A and B are shown apart, each in its own frame.
Chain A
Amino acid sequence: MNIVVGKPLPHESAHLHVQGSAPYTDDIPERVGTLHAALGLSPVAHGRLLGVDVERVRAQPGVVDVFTGTDFPGRNDCGPLIQDDPILAIDTLRYRGQPVFAVVARTRAQARRAAALAREVIQAEPLTAILHQREAHAAGQHVIAPMQLCRGDADQALANAPQRLQLAFELGGQEQFYLEGQISYALPEEDGGLTLHCSTQHPSEMQHLVAHALHRPNHAVRVLCRRMGGGFGGKESQSALFACVAALGAVRNRAPVKLRLDRDDDFLITGRRHGFSFDIDAGFDEAGRIQGVRATLISNAGHSADLSGPVLTRALCHFDNAYWLPHVALSGFAARTNTQSNTAFRGFGGPQGALAVEMLMDAIARRLKLDPLAVRRANLYQEGQTPPQTTPYGQTIEDFCLPDLMARLEASSDYAARRAAVAAFNASSPVLKKGLALTPLKFGISFNVVHLNQAGALVHVYTDGSVLVNHGGTEMGQGLNTKVAQVVAQELGLPLAAVRCSATDTEKIANTSATAASTGADLNGKAAQAAARSLRDRLSAFAAQAYGLAPDGVRFEAGEVVLGSQRIAWEELVRQAYHARVQLWSEGFYATPGLSWDRAKLQGRPFYYFAHGAAVAEVLVDTLTGEHRVLRADALHDVGQSLNPAIDIGQVEGAFIQGMGWLTSEELVWHPADGSPKAGLLVTHAPSTYKIPTANDCPADFRVALFDRPNAKDSIHRSKAVGEPPLLLPFAVFLAIKDAVAAATGGEPTLMAPATPEAVLKALHT
């Protein structure tokens, strides 16, 4: 048997990546006459827009065109769910960095130079700006209605609990920092058509928003994306603005227009992971078992709704993380601030919600002087209860492998012995302290919005036997095309080299969902499998008839077709089928079964299944400076039966380091709204000031393994989604730092995230 699925095969583009010959949007040869666009940005965080001296910009060298929000023939809006997101600001300036006008010039440098006049040509009357979510919440400013997720009687449970504690926590946001910045390249086509090459996770949405902005039917707009240089959620909704601007520029000037952002502008314009404020009140017993919890979660949505609603939903739905919360009352608010509009970022609110309850677990353990692992274990969901345990949103806990997984990790990481060693070290080390933590995760897989859980694929077999797959997912480095090609090759009994994935293209698969929510391989893999199966069935039927066999007498393996006692080459069967006028292409469709969701009550079965994982981290903290170093990290992660272990390990490790960056070194700082020239400016707007991890931050001792148990659900080859869940693994790093601080102070540290040296030193002294 030719088994392709489950092999640690390299990324389909790896040999191109290493040679620099994998083209990204900016590498596509420019059509003659290509013009370049740049955006003029709001110089204030909040203000009334009085006017723009467009003529002055137009007079700059090389400038061909300047336009503003009123120039869109259709809708000047690029909000993905709610229409509160102007492409170019009209009337009100809502954050510093908001695009106000677009410049089209002969060269990119000329466009950028002209756009840089924004400060001088935008006339605005400043208004009071609010930058922090707590302040905005207090002022009653929200982008969506508040959300409540409740079960039982939390107040009564809190009142009756033998132990009680309160916790307030501030959690910073995170910049996606995809290495390839936002880019769109728009090419006018015949009869009002438009082709857009766009670095986007959501080509269909780009297509629809561009069509609306131009007041054209969707069929006139084609969006293509071969690959992105990283997305992480940042190119789910927020690539739309740039696509719309490039498109209008191309239409107005009847010329190709490229809009590639400078890194600083990318930081200043686009939003990121939501920062959150939490207030938690918990009641528990002497074993640390939570009896009731009441919590308020306030996210910083930024100036518009964007995806803040679904992000908040997922935060609320992950507040339980891995724990049974019998009585719970959660209130969620998405506060409107004068900052970039926050959006999707790997985990999509899940990490924020789950970190809150993990903070609580540690606080309870320290209150009761128990090992945090014991408290975690005491609170874990348990299968086999009557009635079965459910999440606060009403989904039954099934296939809950964390007790096994955590036990395996506890043993393999030598947790108990290291806990003792850490205590011994701390007793004799006056300045440096060590900390240790083991944290679990449970992450719901599926879009929280039921209808998004669908996908389509096309499989073409050409007469030479080669196979082309196209599906609605996008490749951003996660190896989706590799996995989908593996699925198709497996289905047709072919070596992987016989199968090629082509660029995502709205002319091939219509109405696709974003490649998001970790569902890329689950949805598109199943759709491609369905397409390949219909082809295979058709070819089987043909072969059975042609060779006088029963259809189950035909097998496809190792590039050959087994026909009873005979074998012929795959190519030969394809040739014969073509001549017999058998359809050699097929479409496939998949819709995740069994999902339901009541958006008003936040109840139902939003997730097809859960992915799990756990990590242990050991850190060393300097109590004089607040610096820390991760000494060792172990992770065990549940990917079901892996489609490709090399790619899955890559996702787990990458997410670990990315999540660790979020919680340690990646700090977003806005200049306070103090009336100064810098008021409201995001001052960490480039890699010089915003510090993502480097190779030296990867723990020297880093042990990552897959928990190889097939998915109980009928997912693609019983695998599990892997994109987002492991982002929760590095909670262990943050909580290990907190553990070390607690070792120094003896109390419950008020450590906020990210745990920069400054935050740690502050926690050591308060």
Chain B
Amino acid sequence: MPQDLSTQSIRPVRFWHRNAVVELDGAPNTRTVLEWLREDQQLCGTKEGCAEGDCGACTVVLGELDAQGRLQLKPVNSCIQFLPSLDGKALFTVEDLAGADGSLHPVQQALVDCHGSQCGFCTPGFAMSLWQLYEEMKGTAPSRQGIADGLAGNLCRCTGYRPILDAGEKALAQEGPLLDREPVETALRELALGQPIHTEAGFHAPKTLGELAQLRQDLPEARLLAGGSDVGLWVTKQFKTLPQIIYLGQVRELQTIERVGDELVIGAGASLEAAWAELATHWPQLKEMGLRFASPPIRSVGTLGGNIANGSPIGDGAPVLMALGATVELQRGEQLRRLPLQDFYLDYMKNALQAGEFLRALRVPLPLQGWRLSTHKISKRFDSDISAVCGAFALHIEDGQVREARLAWGGMAAIVKRAAQAEAALRGQPWNEATLIQAQAALAQDFKPLSDMRASAAYRLQVAQNLLRRCWLETRAEDPLPASALSVWEAR
């Protein structure tokens, strides 16, 4: 441990659980919340289905204070959350739902009444997702569709979901008990006053940008951890050990989303849920992609910054931000620099971050007159699937001519990148079918995609070319087709 850290107090992990603050000494860096619940606490209501955050059997709810000091509840996959990341938060599990007198919570009772469980193994996870919706959406009269979207991270193999959706509708329409938030908020406020945590095992959670910048330089080998939706799997599936972790979730300044001049500045620690919601207020067409981007439990802890910094060639954040002309703001010590996003990715899972540097913010230029954005995600399943191809196109069309085009693609190469030749084929050309065909042909020069379990190379290229056609059909001057004539999802 570096000199300057050894002087800081090592303290236990503290969080709210079962109506009290729990203090844990010696919490291992990568023990998961699920392992702690099931093995250390013998709270076996929460189940392991996949240990990779994809089935939702392990769903628990975390409580955190927002900037106004109000408790916010989010569904989380406990199978890939590391125990020390609970510090300062509140943890709720299926064991917390029933009343003190043993009466079932309305979401539980509705699941019984509507026959929403068969084998019952996924049911605690559904109960927790529904409870989170019940607590956070009650009074907003969520639609059946809204409830289905809220359950996109929970798999059930028995029921076919209809009775679970019925249960959701029934429970959320009821007057019933709500969580007494006051004691939780009081406890979390007190916990928030404490020093940033450094555990014996090497888990560090700075609270300020300054502390983060310092730590990043002091511990260049440490693993930065945000939502853990990727890093969690390194542990559960690849048995990696992570002797030093810098956790970003406590740095408030990193979570801000604000408009600065003609840019939207999204802190690298802003959750996918929050960041995408903000993007969608400026570009409403991003709403569908937001619903299909991972699942609610992943979006609530995963960060857009993490999605970008991770640099996966099949991430959905990068193509969209690249098409929007976003830049990344990188920080090292007190030094800041900016890079266009397309220059951030160097090669497969390699980016331009230098030792001791971290992603501080994403800067997205706000919509300009004359520009159109269209985004397309292709996957085997609507919900929570990784894109075979993700295409994001920003076109500046004026007087029937393409002035400028940014065509950014995921799933087509080792990195997310723009289609230089297809863009060139569009630039300065009339927006007609002949130009479209030129651009489609150029796409085959831009990319030599791979075949894998998500799609073959041939399909990727063909569908990418067809997505350009879809975009043209929607934006052409003559007889443009409405979105409802072009996407099976539009009338959802």
Contact = CB atoms under 8 A, between A and B. Distances in A.
B485 A431 contact: yes
Given A18-B112, A476-B119, A625 B463 contact: yes
A21 B453 contact: no
Contacts of A20: 44-47, 93-95, 123-124, 127
Contacts of B145: 700
B159 A653 contact: yes
B113 to A, nearest CB: 7
A477 interface: yes
B119 A689 contact: no
Main secondary structure of the interface of B (DSSP, over half): loop
Contacts of A479: 118
Given A24-B121, A26-B44, A694-B155, A657 B111 contact: no
A701 to B, nearest CB: 11
Interface stretch (A142-150, A223-231, A308-316, A545-553): A223-231
A625 B115 contact: no
Interface string B44-82: 111111111011010000000000000000000000000
Contact of B452 (A176, A622, A650, A683): A683
Nearest to B111: A18
Given A116-B239, A180-B47, A230 B119 contact: yes
A20 B34 CA distance: 14
B381 A684 contact: no
Contacts of B245: none
Contact of B386 (A180, A629, A688): A688
Interface string B68-110: 0000000000000000000000000111011000001001110
B381 A112 contact: no
Interface in A609-629: 620-622, 624-629
B118 A624 contact: no
A431 B473 contact: yes
A430 B492 CA distance: 19
B239 A687 contact: no
A622 B486 CA distance: 7
A388 interface: no
A693 B388 CA distance: 17
B211 interface: no
B148 interface: yes
Interface in A187-239: 227-232
B112 to A, nearest CB: 4
A21 B45 contact: yes
Q: Which of B108, B123, B164 gathers most chain A CB within 10 Å?
A: B123
Chain A, interface size category, equals: 35 or more
B148 A696 contact: yes
B378 A625 contact: yes
B46 to A, nearest CB: 7
Nearest to A13: B120
Interface stretch (B343-351, B406-414, B464-472): B464-472
Interface stretch (A291-299, A516-524, A754-762): A754-762
A450 interface: no
B121 A232 contact: no
B120 A432 contact: no
A483 B111 CA distance: 19
Contacts of A32: none
B378 A757 contact: yes
B421 interface: no
B119 A477 contact: yes
A264 B237 contact: yes
B441 interface: no
A653 B114 CA distance: 13
A694 B381 contact: yes
B104 A15 contact: yes
A478 interface: yes
Nearest to B489: A629
B459 interface: yes
B157 A19 contact: no
A624 B466 contact: yes
B488 A432 contact: yes
A595 interface: no
Contacts of A686: 50, 52, 54
B149 interface: yes
Q: Which of A179, A263, A628 gathers most chain B CB within 10 Å?
A: A179
A676 B98 CA distance: 53
A20 B456 CA distance: 42
A17 interface: yes
A11 B111 CA distance: 11
Q: Which of A19, A232, A629, A693 gathers most chain B CB within 10 Å?
A: A19
Sorted from nearest, which 4 A-B pairs have the closest CB atoms? A20-B45, A477-B119, A229-B121, A17-B120
19 contacts: A14-B120, A17-B120, A19-B98, A19-B127, A26-B48, A178-B157, A179-B122, A180-B49, A232-B157, A263-B49, A430-B485, A624-B467, A626-B463, A654-B157, A692-B157, A693-B381, A694-B151, A694-B161, A698-B160
Interface of A: 8, 10-11, 13-24, 26-27, 29, 109, 112-113, 116, 176-181, 227-232, 262-264, 429-432, 476-479, 620-622, 624-629, 646-647, 649-650, 653-658, 665, 667, 669, 683-684, 686-689, 691-698, 700, 702, 704, 756-758, 761-762, 765
Given A116-B239, A179-B156, A432-B485, 17 more contacts: A14-B117, A18-B111, A21-B45, A27-B44, A429-B485, A479-B118, A620-B488, A625-B470, A650-B115, A653-B160, A654-B157, A688-B50, A689-B386, A694-B151, A695-B151, A696-B383, A704-B162
